[in-house]
Amino acid sequence: MNKFQQTLKELLSSKGINRKQLAERIDISTSALNGYFNENLYPTSDILIKMSDFFEVSINYLLGFEDVELKNTNRAFIENYNTLLKDKNISIAKSLRDMNMGNKNYSVWKKGKIPKTYNLIAIAEYFDVSVDYLLGRSEY
């Protein structure tokens, strides 16, 4: 069982709800939720945010990266990404190339789309920040 699965299992238990009830409350199918437990799948960024809101924990906590931390602010991903680029004096093209991501990703993000979970993890590792920071849910 990976850290995310273990954390999700513990959170369900602490809330006294089952998988079906969680699926209903965050508006996903029970089969999708079961996939996170049985198939080592990760949810989309949008679902991570819904889970974080429902359980009132940080996304980093959900993914098993840190102890419980309440979510904080609500800044946009692209603003934080651009801030990191500026602070570290890295071009958009270089950052995407370094992370093996295509230029199209940035265009999509700039239009308001949140990156897929595996991209969020890669970006957080690249810039040495938390996923919560990238999503505007904690300070730098």
User: 8 vs 57, 77, 103, 107, CA distance in Å?
Assistant: 11, 24, 33, 32
DSSP letter at 57 equals -
Residues 130 and 81 in one domain: yes
Tell me the pLDDT tens digit for each residue of 63-112: 888 765 444 333 468 889 999 999 999 999 999 999 999 989 998 888 77
Residues 21 and 48 in one domain: yes
Q: In which domain, by residue range, is 105 found?
A: 77-134
Domain boundary among 62, 88, 107: 62
Whether residue 68 is contained in a domain is answered as no
Q: What is the pLDDT of residue 29?
A: 94
Whether residue 72 is contained in a domain is answered as no
Residues 52 and 86 in one domain: no
Question: CA 41, 47, 51: angle at the middle one, nearest 5?
Answer: 100
Q: Return the percentage of the chain with pLDDT > 70, whole number.
A: 92
Q: Report the distance separating Cα 60 and Cα 66, nearest Å.
A: 6
Whether residue 28 is contained in a domain is answered as yes
Packing angle, helices 45-55 and 117-127, rounded to 10? 80
Into how many domains does the chain fold? 2
